[in-house]
Amino acid sequence: MEYKNGLEGMYVIKDNKKLRYGYTTGSCAAAAAKAAAMMLFLDREVRTVDLPTPRGIMLHLAVEKICREEGSVSCAVRKDGGDDPDATHGLYIHAKVSLRDGDKIVLDGGLGVGRVTKPGLEQPVGAAAINRVPRQMIEKEVADVCEEQEYRGGLRVEIFVPGGEETARKTFNPRLGIEGGISILGTSGIVVPMSEAALIASIRLEMEMKKANGAEYLLITPGNYGADFIRQNMVLDVENSMKCSNYVGETLDMAVELGIKGILIVAHIGKFIKVAGGIMNTHSRCADSRAELMAAAAARAGAGIETVREILGTITTEEAVGILKREGLIESAMAEITKRVRYYLQHRCQGALQTEAILFSNQHGYLGETEGAEELIRHFEKRSI
């Protein structure tokens, strides 16, 4: 008999495909803790458990890897992230519930659950990386079992994840100062596939951490290309940078809200030519216009009509940059582009912080920078010494 987890028929449509919902590591931990607490007091194994989620969806989850010992029980629930690209998909989230003296429920993380090592995150330094809502879910489920069984003593709940430390290297945790494993996360208990909100939330989390650790200026790249360019061409601490992906506008909004004083963005021309047109989400599904914007910059720089038409026919910005270099127009065109990049960055943040950018091409290297970039470069060089 096929086991139902409570999410049947729940999906989103993306690119004409049905993408399944999943459930969070927090839901897995809460369900495993509930099952372990039940088995601690009952003389039988619990193979399925019902879990209400903050989203209002009831999950019906399979309980696996049961281990019963004197005074303790451990078990696991397998993480299913649905069709979301989730590094923790397939991991077994274990909970061990043990009797203890006193009358309190004490929750901690064990093997494969990260530890917070820097201030500014949701949990204090030294605590297990089990976020607030999952903590509440775990404690409530265990407390409810205690009430049902009329147990008034204390319990220790340990969440552990075999393979969690290795998996954490594929997540933001090392950049956030969470060491030794994954985080137990989830504000709704449910994973919505391909969630932009989750990506933006992770950017915000990293920015909050940096702010809490004293950062007033941020070095940002959209992705790995920018980080590689810094590493190979600049004397800046790329390990202290952060990524904004395609969410340029949202990143600026967060920086204003958090009181950041300035941002230096090092970006590939293929991303930031869009910003020169006021496009603040640079994903291709939101807007392209790369050839059109490159052609407009060429025209402003004095390119003839045939050159403009040639650029309009290009597929990549690398190709367009090559044409500009061939025509001796690259410096004047980049002056036009960087001027507009700075204008639109400032327009988005309404002048609330300094925004500068350095643009490059993988094939042609450094291309240009906004007028105040050198000032921020010196600032970051001083901070990197």
Task: Inform me whether the pLDDT recorded for 382 exceeds 60.
Answer: no
Residue 4's alpha-carbon distances to 25, 50, 59, 62, 120, in angstroms, are 18, 11, 9, 9, 39
- Predicted pLDDT of residue 381: 74
Task: Inform me whether the pLDDT recorded for 385 exceeds 70.
Answer: no
183 vs 380, higher pLDDT: 183
Domain of residue 135, CATH code: 3.30.2110.10
Task: Inform me whether the pLDDT recorded for 3 exceeds 50.
Answer: no
Task: Inform me whether the pLDDT recorded for 4 exceeds 70.
Answer: no
Full residue range of the structural domain in which residue 302 is found: 215-384
Q: Are 164 and 298 within one domain?
A: no
- Predicted pLDDT of residue 379: 78
The position carrying tokens 């470069």 is 377
If pLDDT is split at 50, 70 and 90, which confidence band does 223 have?
Answer: confident
Average pLDDT score over residue span 83-92: 88
For the chain, list the strands marked E by DSSP.
Answer: 11-14, 17-20, 22-23, 48-52, 58-62, 64-69, 72-78, 92-100, 105-109, 112-113, 115-116, 154-160, 178-179, 181-182, 190-191, 217-221, 242-243, 262-268, 354-361, 365-369
Q: Is residue 310 part of a domain?
A: yes
Residue pair 273/344 in contact (Cβ under 8 Å)? The answer is no
- Domain edge (last residue) among 157, 191, 225: 191
- Name the amino acid, one letter, at 331: E
How many domains does the structure of the chain reveal?
2
Task: Inform me whether the pLDDT recorded for 196 exceeds 90.
Answer: no
Q: Classify the phi-psi angles of 100: left when phi > 0, otherwise alpha if psi is within -120 to 50, otherwise beta.
A: beta
Average pLDDT score over residue span 12-27: 81
Task: Inform me whether the pLDDT recorded for 1 exceeds 60.
Answer: no
Which range among 17-21, 24-28, 139-143, 331-335 shows the weakest confidence by mean pLDDT?
A: 17-21
Q: Is residue 200 part of a domain?
A: no
Q: Is residue 2 part of a domain?
A: no
Nearest-angstrom CA–CA distance, 150 and 147: 5
Q: Is residue 182 part of a domain?
A: yes
Q: Are 182 and 130 within one domain?
A: yes
Nearest-angstrom CA–CA distance, 4 and 300: 61
Pairing, β 190-191 against β 22-23: antiparallel
User: What's the pLDDT tens digit per position in 370-381?
Assistant: 999 999 988 787
- Predicted pLDDT of residue 383: 54
Q: Are 366 and 254 within one domain?
A: yes
Task: Inform me whether the pLDDT recorded for 286 exceeds 50.
Answer: yes
Minimal CA–CA distance to 230: which of 241, 218, 245?
Answer: 241
Q: Are 163 and 265 within one domain?
A: no
Residue pair 157/110 in contact (Cβ under 8 Å)? The answer is no
Mean pLDDT of all residues in the chain? 91
If pLDDT is split at 50, 70 and 90, which confidence band does 15 have?
Answer: low
Q: Are 184 and 225 within one domain?
A: no
Q: Are 182 and 243 within one domain?
A: no
Which residues are registered as beta bridge partners of 247?
Answer: 281
Residue pair 198/31 in contact (Cβ under 8 Å)? The answer is no
Nearest-angstrom CA–CA distance, 48 and 71: 21
Q: Are 168 and 258 within one domain?
A: no
